[in-house]
């Protein structure tokens, strides 16, 4: 059991003291095959050993950097070296495997980009200057401290350009050759292939078993006890539990009920108190609280707790920007993409309508945390005049046929309020789809009452007009019998239900999101988008490197049947819109900063349609992410290929 998953205080303490020592005693020659000593605070990071490993990973590059008399001389020699390296992989006598050659080409492309003067100018940083000064032993002239993460990035890159990525084998380079099963024919070939596939399948299932869902009998039993305890605390009955209005009436808005009903650290209690005192939106429905394990030691509910219990860094940042939250935290630039109050538009055929500015509970990493004042804010509903102006705006923009009603959570509005909006939109001839973006299937599934379902059924009239539900499950532990019933009742109306997952530190372990996909499909929800965590400074502790979401898509999601992996991994470019991460032609790595952060250039969705400037994004360092995984008990050897996802 990963006890540290829920004990955040302990995790932070361990992480604060966590040191990684690079030992060179292993025979296997790979970035991750050296011993990594975890949870041994007496060990210090041997920086010089990492640096030596960098030079050993590619002696040719080291000699170029060491002998170059100037930065420009080093740049020119490296370009020549990379040209020769690329030509070499096309030689007939090159015995590298064709897939390893593909990695070589990709590493060369990335290396050229990183040392390009234009990218140094645009990012105001020069990885080449850092490498040259390190090789020249001019560390004193470096303006910034060079992290282990920076060195590891270039250890991988140096090795990659000469075909020593060791992606396929840990102990030696993959050479030309044909697998045994391709040398055979007929049934013998099939049987040989089956051994490989069975091994892969067994490995997948081993990981999936790590992540129980809320449909498991043992979990259901624990939550039944949680429900009884919560009902007794609030003086409710079983009938009350099935009434969404009872849950809304008893939404938890202070630390006391949380502390009284589940085990929680004293630091978290103080953080909640500070959030409430400073009017930072906080709230948990009784139902969602019942999904949390009563004891920290159980350790499966980490993703659930992390969504609603704010970390100290988040609260401190929100307090600091008390007066300018609307600008400081508007990462997506909604102020610049809102042509009229309540409407956001970034695409030609779709627009967002935000009539209701609150939710039944608050996600810490909400995109609109700058906009939502508090849970169940009494004045959350837009005024009649403002709403009518927004609805009338659609009459002047006939190209918009798909409207996403979000907020806030529109399903928290009364039936009457929501139906009025649906009725007005349904009479606009150009609108063929209305999406309702709501977390109620996850945090308040009893909201899908008979009366609410009848409203949805009334306006779902294909092919003229489609109603669709877009929700937000984050983890298999959120999938419950109540959620199953709600989704199935929606599906019985012929209405589709889609999921948008945010890829965070809490659901990014090996096959964790894969398990979520499988469990979503089991209850009738189609995976739709997997969002790379938005680069909001106040929620940085939740963020995962882009390389990990690419790795997850290729090495984990790809092993699922196609019907299970229908989601698309995307990065939301501020002010512009979604960039599909699988489309490598739409983003490129342009720099590695001294702290190990990668800088990506993201191209707009309009690429090849209209000229719109790209956007540069500074990612979280891969090394920092791996350190966090290690502090949670993960074997980082499982993630060894992450460096080669660009």
CA angle, 233 then 234 then 240, to 5°: 125
The predicted structure's pLDDT at residue 133: 97
Residue 225 has pLDDT above 70, yes or no: yes
Which residue bears the tokens 């019985």?
Answer: 492
Where does a domain end: 117, 145, 175?
Answer: 175
- For the segment 453-503, what is each residue's pLDDT rounded down to a tens digit? 999 999 999 999 999 999 999 999 999 999 999 999 999 999 999 999 999
Same domain, 227 and 123: no
Of the ranges 16-20, 42-46, 81-85, 204-208, which one carries the lowest mean pLDDT score?
16-20
- Percent of all residues in the chain with a pLDDT value above 90, rounded to a whole number: 76
Same domain, 383 and 517: yes
- For the segment 109-156, what is each residue's pLDDT rounded down to a tens digit? 999 999 999 999 999 999 999 999 999 999 999 988 999 999 999 999
Residue 33 has pLDDT above 50, yes or no: no
Q: What number is the average pLDDT over the span 585-613?
A: 94
**575 compared with 622, residue with greater pLDDT:** 622
- Looking at the structure of the chain, the number of domains it has is 3
Q: Which residues pair with 455 in a beta bridge?
A: none
Same domain, 166 and 126: yes
Whole-number mean pLDDT of the chain? 90
The predicted structure's pLDDT at residue 19: 36
C-alpha to C-alpha distance for 384 and 479, rounded to whole angstroms: 37
Where does a domain end: 598, 619, 636?
Answer: 598
Owning domain of residue 166: 3-175
- Provide the 3-class DSSP secondary structure of residue 351: strand
Same domain, 519 and 429: yes
* Strands, sheet with 615-618, edge to edge from the N-terminal-most edge strand: 587-592, 598-602, 615-618
336 confidence band (pLDDT: 50, 70, 90)? confident
The predicted structure's pLDDT at residue 291: 98
The pTM for the full model equals: 0.91
Residue 631, in any domain of the structure: no
Residue 38 has pLDDT above 70, yes or no: no
Closest C-alpha among 617, 567, 555, 552 to residue 588: 617
Residue 331 has pLDDT above 80, yes or no: no
The predicted structure's pLDDT at residue 328: 65
Same domain, 296 and 343: no
The end-to-end CA distance of the chain, in Å, is: 33
Residue 580, in any domain of the structure: yes
Q: What's the CATH number where 573 sits?
A: 3.20.20.70
Residue 11 has pLDDT above 60, yes or no: no
Same domain, 304 and 376: no
Q: What number is the average pLDDT over the span 609-627?
A: 93
Same domain, 229 and 349: no
- The contacts of residue 44 (CB under 8 Å, 6+ apart) are 19, 21
Same domain, 147 and 226: no
Residue 344, in any domain of the structure: yes
Residue 625, in any domain of the structure: no
Count the alpha carbons within 13 Å of 375 in the hemisphere toward its beta carbon: 21
Of the ranges 12-21, 399-408, 415-424, 432-441, which one carries the lowest mean pLDDT score?
12-21
- Percent of all residues in the chain with a pLDDT value above 70, rounded to a whole number: 91
Where does a domain end: 113, 148, 175?
Answer: 175
The predicted structure's pLDDT at residue 43: 53
Residue 642, in any domain of the structure: no
């Amino acid at each position: 059991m990963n006890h540290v998953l829920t004990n955040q205080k302990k995790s932070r303490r361990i992480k604060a003291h966590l040191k990684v020592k690079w030992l060179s005693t292993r025979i296997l020659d790979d970035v991750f095959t050296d011993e990594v000593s975890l949870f041994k605070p007496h060990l210090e990071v041997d920086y010089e050993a990492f640096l030596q490993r960098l030079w050993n990973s590619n002696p040719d590059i080291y000699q170029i950097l060491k002998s170059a008399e100037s930065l420009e001389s080093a740049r020119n020699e490296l370009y020549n070296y990379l040209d020769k390296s690329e030509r070499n992989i096309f030689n007939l006598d090159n015995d590298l495997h064709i897939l390893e050659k593909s990695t070589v080409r990709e590493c060369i492309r990335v290396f050229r980009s990183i040392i390009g003067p234009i990218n140094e100018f645009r990012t105001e940083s020069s990885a080449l200057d850092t490498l040259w000064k390190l090789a020249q032993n001019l560390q004193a002239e470096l303006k910034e401290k060079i992290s282990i993460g920076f060195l590891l990035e270039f250890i991988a890159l140096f090795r990659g350009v000469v075909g020593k990525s060791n992606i396929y084998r840990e102990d030696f380079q993959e050479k030309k050759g044909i697998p045994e099963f391709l040398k055979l024919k007929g049934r013998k070939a099939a049987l040989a292939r089956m051994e490989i596939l069975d091994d892969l399948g067994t490995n997948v299932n081993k990981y999936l078993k790590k992540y129980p869902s809320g449909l498991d009998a043992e979990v259901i039993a624990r939550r039944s006890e949680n429900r009884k305890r919560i009902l007794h605390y609030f003086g409710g009955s079983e009938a009350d539990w099935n009434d969404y209005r009872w849950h809304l009436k008893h939404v938890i808005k202070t630390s006391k009920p949380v502390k009284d009903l589940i085990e929680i650290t004293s630091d978290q209690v103080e953080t909640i108190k500070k959030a409430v005192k400073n009017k930072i939106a906080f709230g948990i429905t009784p139902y969602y609280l019942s999904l949390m394990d009563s004891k920290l030691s159980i350790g499966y509910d980490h993703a659930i707790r992390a969504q609603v219990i704010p970390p100290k860094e988040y609260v401190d940042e929100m307090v600091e920007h008390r007066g300018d939250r609307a600008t400081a935290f508007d990462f997506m630039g909604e102020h610049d993409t809102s042509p009229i109050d309540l409407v956001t538009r970034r695409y030609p055929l779709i627009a967002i309508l935000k009539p209701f500015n609150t939710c039944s509970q608050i996600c810490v990493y909400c995109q609109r945390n700058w906009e939502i004042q508090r849970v169940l804010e009494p004045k959350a509903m837009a005024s009649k005049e403002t709403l009518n102006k927004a609805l009338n705006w659609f009459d002047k923009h006939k190209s918009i046929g798909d409207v996403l009603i979000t907020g806030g959570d529109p399903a928290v509005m009364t039936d009457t309020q929501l139906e009025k909006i649906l009725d007005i939109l349904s009479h606009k001839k150009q609108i063929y789809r209305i999406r309702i973006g709501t977390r109620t299937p996850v945090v308040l599934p009893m909201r899908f009452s008979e009366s609410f379902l009848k409203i949805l059924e009334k306006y779902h009239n294909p092919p003229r007009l489609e109603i669709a539900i877009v929700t937000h499950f984050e983890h298999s532990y959120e999938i419950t019998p109540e959620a199953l019933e709600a989704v199935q009742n929606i599906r019985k109306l012929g209405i589709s239900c889609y999921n948008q997952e945010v890829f965070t530190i809490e659901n990014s372990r090996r096959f964790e999101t894969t398990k979520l996909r499988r469990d979503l499909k089991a209850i009738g929800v189609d995976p739709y988008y997997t969002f790379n965590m938005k680069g909001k400074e106040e929620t940085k502790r939740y963020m995962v490197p882009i390389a990990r979401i690419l790795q997850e898509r290729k090495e984990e999601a790809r092993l699922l049947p196609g019907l299970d992996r229908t989601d698309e991994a995307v990065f939301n470019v501020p002010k512009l819109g979604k960039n599909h991460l699988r489309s490598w032609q739409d983003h490129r790595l342009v720099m590695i900063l001294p702290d190990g952060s990668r800088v990506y250039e993201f191209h707009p969705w309009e690429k090849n349609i209209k000229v719109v400037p790209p956007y540069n994004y500074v990612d979280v360092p891969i090394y920092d992410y791996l350190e966090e995984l290690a502090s949670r008990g993960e074997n980082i050897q499982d993630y060894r290929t992450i460096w080669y996802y660009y």
